Amino acid sequence: MSTDRRSFIRNVALGSGALATGIQQSAYSQRISKISAPFNMSGFAAPKIPTVRIGFVGLGSRGPGAVERMSFIEGVEIKALCDKLPERASKAQDILLKAGLPKAKEYSGEDGWKAMCESNDLDLIYITTPWSLHTPIAVYAMNHGKHAASEVPAAKTIDECWQLVETSEKTKKHMMMLENCCYDFFELLTLNMIRNGLFGEVLHAEGAYIHDLSKDYLFNKNGYTDMWRLKENMTRNGDLYPTHGLGPIAQAMDINRGDKFDHLVSMSTNDFTMGKMANELATKDDFFKEYANKSYRGNMNTTIIKTNKGKTLMVQHDVSTARPYSRIHLVSGTKGCAQKYPDPERIAFGHEWINAEQMKALEEKYAPPIIKHIGEIAKGVGGHGGMDFIMDWRLIDCLRNGLPLDQNVYDAASWTAAGLLSEASVNNRSRTVDFPDFTRGGWKTNTPHDMTLNGGGTTGVRNVKG
């Protein structure tokens, strides 16, 4: 962190006790926007890495799936496996054995990831830990000469967002937030249609993460280690998980590449389910007494973002009520619109949705090259229907071919910040909160990214069953 920003944050804290209100956040945004970027990571192509040597940290929930997906991609060497619990790192070796790959070096303990990042035989650190470790590990990895790829969200504070940006710029190492929903089939189709002008100028978009996690995950004793995700919902109030819905529509609206998030307002309901569930479980199981009689995050959060060009985005978050899964994914332009949820996916160029035959014709014509190239293989590998594999394959293909990544550190910071700033707004009676400009003006000249192969597509796959 720069000395000027440290001083500014300290002065605000001393003067008011918090960096939470809309006025304070606005001052922070304005101050930081005046600090010029030493290097623009948008469009940056790092030197080619013919064989990408990967170390994985966090092998509880998401990690093993990532190891398995990467085992199918040529030009990858899985060199290191790390988890706080040594038995998890050892168990992940079975994935490599099944794929016919050499064993990886194991790291474990609270600081095992530091030793892994310090090793000289890795190019990429792949992070699937609890949220609180995403930024510390990514920053440490970049400072030790590695690219970093982190599960969502990328950070837990605005200051951590700036740490990621400044470290990536200083080291010229990529920091990609692993937003897999940007690589789902309909999201890529609609993005390609937008790039081809079918919807005109996109002026409004909507996204969400509506997914009832309460019984199977949040209150599952055998779910997240040390109940860390339940604790997040117990200590914070706002959109805790914005990027699945926000990432694809931010790309559709050229955020950080011709436009930027300017300000937001956010509002949450009260909690009507989580506190009650904790109290009920505590009457049957002493384990849950720690979580009883506590205040939980409001069930539904709605955040409205306005861009510098006067466009709007609506993002919702609800992981604790009985609703069908939805990310909404609505893009609305001057000539048409598209919406993914509820099924079936729909497109319109007027008052009515087009029919199934017309939809099929559009899909055949506008499926982007990346889907034509790797889509069916991705379905065979899996990972949320294949989008996880497309994301991983694309990351490796870009690193091997020396191409700019589809998602850079500014995307990681701004998409994550939407959730963090929503908390500031909710905690201040839904007042307006300004966004920092993580690009420091670069958004004005950064060019939109089209998510096609961009000269890549040379990376193969192995041992994939269709």
DSSP secondary structure, 63-104, as one string: HHHHHHHHHTBTTEEEEEEEESSHHHHHHHHHHHHHTT-PPP
Quick one: pLDDT at residue 336? Answer: 98
The amino acid at residue 455 is G
Supply the pLDDT for residue 3.
Answer: 44
Determine contact, residues 404/236, Cβ cutoff 8 Å: no
pLDDT tens profile 230-259? 999 999 999 999 999 999 999 999 999 999
Of residues 451 and 81, the one with the higher pLDDT is: 81
CATH class held by domain 182-369+407-444 = alpha beta
Q: What is the pLDDT of residue 449?
A: 79
Instruction: Tell me the residue length of the chain.
Output: 466
Mean pLDDT in residue range 15-21: 35
Q: Which residue has the higher pLDDT, 124 or 456?
A: 124
Asked if pLDDT for residue 1 goes beyond 60, the answer is no
Strand bridging mode 433-434 / 261-268: antiparallel
β-pair type (202-210, 105-108): unpaired
Specify the pLDDT at position 37: 78
The stretch 82-97 carries a mean pLDDT of: 97
Contact at 8 Å (CB) between 418 and 246?
A: yes
Determine the number of helices (DSSP H) and then strands (DSSP E) in the chain: 15, 14
d(CA 310, CA 203): 8
Q: Where are the domains of the chain?
A: 3-33, 52-178, 182-369+407-444
Q: Which two tokens stand for residue 178?
A: 């692993």
Residue 27 has pLDDT above 60, yes or no: no
Q: Say how many C-beta atoms besides its own lie within 10 A of residue 349's C-beta.
A: 15
Is the pLDDT at 61 greater than 90? The verdict is no
Question: Is the pLDDT at 161 greater than 70, yes or no?
Answer: yes
Task: With CA atoms as reference, report the closest residue to 204 among 301, 300, 307.
Answer: 307
Which H helix or E strand runs over 268? strand 261-268
Q: 69 or 30: which carries more pLDDT confidence?
A: 69
The pLDDT value recorded for residue 19 is: 41
Cβ partners under 8 Å of residue 363, min gap 6: 189
Please tell me the distance from the alpha carbon of residue 464 to that of residue 285, in angstroms, as a whole number.
45
Q: Distance (Å, rounded) from C-alpha 267 to C-alpha 111?
A: 38
What is the C-alpha separation between 430 and 382, in angstroms, rounded?
Answer: 40
Q: Three-state secondary structure along 33-48?
A: HCCCCCCCCCCCCCCC
pLDDT at 450: 76
What is the rounded CA–CA span in Å between residue 335 and residue 202?
A: 9
User: What residues contact 3, with CB distance under 8 A and at least 6 apart?
Assistant: none
**pLDDT at residue 210 tops 70:** yes
Tell me: pLDDT of 454 over 90.
Answer: no
- pLDDT at residue 84, rounded to an integer: 96
Q: What is the mean pLDDT of the chain?
A: 92
The pLDDT score that the predictor gives to residue 455 is 85
Average pLDDT over residues 30-52: 82
pLDDT greater than 50 at residue 290: yes
3-state helix, strand, coil in the chain (%, to 5): 45, 15, 40
Name the token pair of 394: 């694309």
Confidence check: pLDDT of 22 > 60 = no
What is the per-residue DSSP string for 187-249?
HHHHHHHHHTTTT-SEEEEEEEEE---IIIIIT-TTSSGGGHHHHHHHH--S-S--HHHHHHH
Cβ-Cβ contacts under 8 Å for 364 (sequence gap 6 or more): none
Q: Is the pLDDT of residue 20 over 90?
A: no
pTM over 0.85: yes
At 32, the pLDDT band (50, 70, 90 cuts) reads low
Distance CA(415)–CA(261), nearest Å, equals 9
In order, the DSSP letters of 125-187 are EEE-S-GGGHHHHHHHHHHTT-EEEEPSSS-SSHHHHHHHHHHHHHHT--EEE--GGGGSHHH
Q: What is the mean pLDDT of residues 381-385?
A: 94
Assigned fold of 52-178: Rossmann fold (3.40.50)
Residue 463: pLDDT band (50, 70, 90) is confident
pLDDT digits (tens, 9 = 90+) for 319-374: 999 999 999 999 999 999 999 999 999 999 999 999 999 999 999 999 999 999 99
